[in-house]
Amino acid sequence: MKRLTSRIYVLGAVLLTLTLASCREDSDELVPYSNSDDVIFNKAKSSFAAQFQILWNGINQNYGIWDVEHDLYGLDWDDVYEKYKPRFEALDMQQEVSDSELKKLLDEVMSPLHDGHIYAELQNFRTGSYVSTCPSELRNKSREDENVYTNNVSTQAYLADIIEEKHAAMNRDAILSELTPHLPWLLNEINSLAQKTTPTEMELFRLQQLTALAEGLNAASTMRDASQMVLALNVLAMKYEFLQVPGLQPYSPNYYSNDGIDMQYVLFKGNIAYLRFNTFELSTYLDPKEATKLFANGTNGDIALIKKVQDTWKAWFNKIQQLKADGTLRGVIIDLRNNGGGDMDDYQYALGALLPPGGIEYAKCRFKRGTGRYDYSSLVPMIGTTLDEAHAVVTEPVVVLANCNSVSMSEMTSLGAKRMPNGRLIGKRTWGGVCGLNYNPAYRNNYAGNVGEKRVTPVYVYVPVCCSFSPEGRSYEGVGIEPDIDVALDLNAYKATGRDSQLDRALKYILEGV
């Protein structure tokens, strides 16, 4: 297999090298643009025209919805080549090329593409900087709700409605909450040593070191970025380990690489079980094998925070099971507003925890099956998996809340809700990025993959390899999923009172059926 892959790579690379300067003919050989070998990317290190050639060819070969772009939007990718190749060649003739000039040109080339995930990056070899663009971000900037956010249910605003709540915030506030109980010990130790009238040299040294640690912790606590705060805390933990301060221990950098997960469970009066989380990384925390694999070297602090996520999700799931058994469950709300998506395995922990065995077909997908622009597989069902753990099936109303910043896996879950007889999607139209992703840098599975390596090669394009459609064949790329009940967030009311108009509408639907 290695020899075959290498042969294809060499043939494709040679073919690309021969055609860089002159033509754009389709090749029968797969060009694995993921390789950072100089054979493919060498010219692009000193030529903007060569960068454009790789960008255009890579997308031409790998992109999954050319039929949608052509038939629905009238995009002719060959026309894009004829129009923009001379403009990139002109850049090569300039003595100076600013980052803004290169970015503007890249924006123009990429903006007609409707895939909600595709992302491109070029290196400005004249400045050493990288410029990037994401067509869906450019498109959604014009939406009124693009920057409208809700963070969580304000318990103060909803106090009369809430019976119980659990909140697992895996972010900087959670880190601080882990440290807070131990800070009084540190301050008491400092005060005790400072009050000694005849301290020993060792006591003076310990006082000096404890004071320095306290100052370091104070500085770290003001950092807004969780990953930077973890780094600073870990440096302090290692440096002052000899002081044996309770609770002072390193945190796993992996745990906070993306500021972790923020999850909230609320049981509203009327027995409506609400769950909100900001990323589909549930399997990481809820699947024992995944948690063990990622946090194998985790500290006690990591383990405690993982447990918070597990406890929060279980409180939601177990309450639903209890209320179903009692016959008193009124409905379920899954809040995916501002959820950027993630792992498809997480389906089982959201809608899959409410569905019968066998899951739900929420979409169909296809893959690239050749190097030609329109070489696609037939459509095959995409099934949202069901939780393996025995559970009652929820037949009561199920609402998914979504907005402009609900992306990818959030949109797949939204599609599932719309296909449930008891499901509704409430809020605003989603982002428009339903095509699935996987880690396929070496083209092992399909005739598609990423072009280059981010911040390594002079050209990089992030390309989905699984293109998704509704079961009827409709594409949602660049459009998003329309809610069953369209309602905007009243931002003024939210800021003034904490009341959430979209959440209020979901509660109204469950309680009144309209």
- Give me the pLDDT at residue 207, please: 93
Q: Which tokens in the block code for residue 172?
A: 């900087």
When pLDDT is cut at 50, 70 and 90, the band that residue 415 belongs to is very high
Which residue would you say has higher pLDDT here, 227 or 306? 306
Report the chain's C-alpha Rg in angstroms. Answer: 27
Question: Is the CA virtual torsion 504, 509, 511, 514 positive or negative?
Answer: positive
- Please state whether beta strands 272-277 and 331-335 pair in parallel, antiparallel, or not at all (unpaired): parallel
48: number of CA atoms within 13 Å, CB side? 27
Topology of domain 147-169+260-354+391-431+481-514, CATH: 2-enoyl-CoA Hydratase; Chain A, domain 1 (3.90.226)
* Backbone conformation region of residue 443, classed left if phi is above 0, alpha if psi is from -120 to 50, else beta: left
Which residue would you say has higher pLDDT here, 482 or 230? 482
Locate all alpha helices (DSSP H) within 126-277, ordered by sequence.
135-140, 172-179, 183-194, 201-221, 226-239
Pick from 40, 42, 45: which is nearest to 29 by CA?
40
Over range 297-308, report the average pLDDT: 65
- Give me the pLDDT at residue 141, please: 87
Locate all alpha helices (DSSP H) within 42-98, ordered by sequence.
48-62, 66-73, 77-93
For residue 150, the tally of other CB atoms under 10 A from its CB is: 21
**How far apart (Å, rounded) are the C-alpha atoms in residues 65 and 438?**
17
Asked whether the predicted pLDDT for residue 378 surpasses 50, the reply is yes
Average pLDDT, the chain: 85
Q: What phi, psi does 444 have (nearest 5°)?
A: -75, -30
When pLDDT is cut at 50, 70 and 90, the band that residue 514 belongs to is very high
pLDDT tens per residue across span 444-455: 567 788 888 888
**How far apart (Å, rounded) are the C-alpha atoms in residues 45 and 43?**
5
Domain extent listing, the chain: 1-142+360-387+435-475, 147-169+260-354+391-431+481-514, 175-255
- Give me the pLDDT at residue 17, please: 37
When pLDDT is cut at 50, 70 and 90, the band that residue 297 belongs to is low
pLDDT tens per residue across span 334-358: 999 999 898 888 999 999 999 999 9
**How far apart (Å, rounded) are the C-alpha atoms in residues 284 and 303?**
12
Q: Which uninterrupted H or E stretch holds 367?
A: strand 360-367
CB distance 243 to 213 below 8 Å: yes
Residue 485, amino acid: I
pLDDT tens per residue across span 52-102: 999 999 999 889 999 999 999 999 999 999 999 999 999 999 999 999 999
Which residue would you say has higher pLDDT here, 374 or 36? 374
**How far apart (Å, rounded) are the C-alpha atoms in residues 480 and 119?**
17
pTM of the model as a whole? 0.79
pLDDT tens per residue across span 251-266: 655 444 445 678 999 9
Burial 50-89 (b: 16+ CB within 10 A, else e): bbbbbbbbbbbbbbbbbebbeeeeeeebeebbeebeeebe
Over range 380-386, report the average pLDDT: 92
Which are the contacts of 509, defined by CB distance < 8 A and separation ≥ 6? Answer: 397, 399, 424, 426, 485
Which residue would you say has higher pLDDT here, 87 or 173? 87
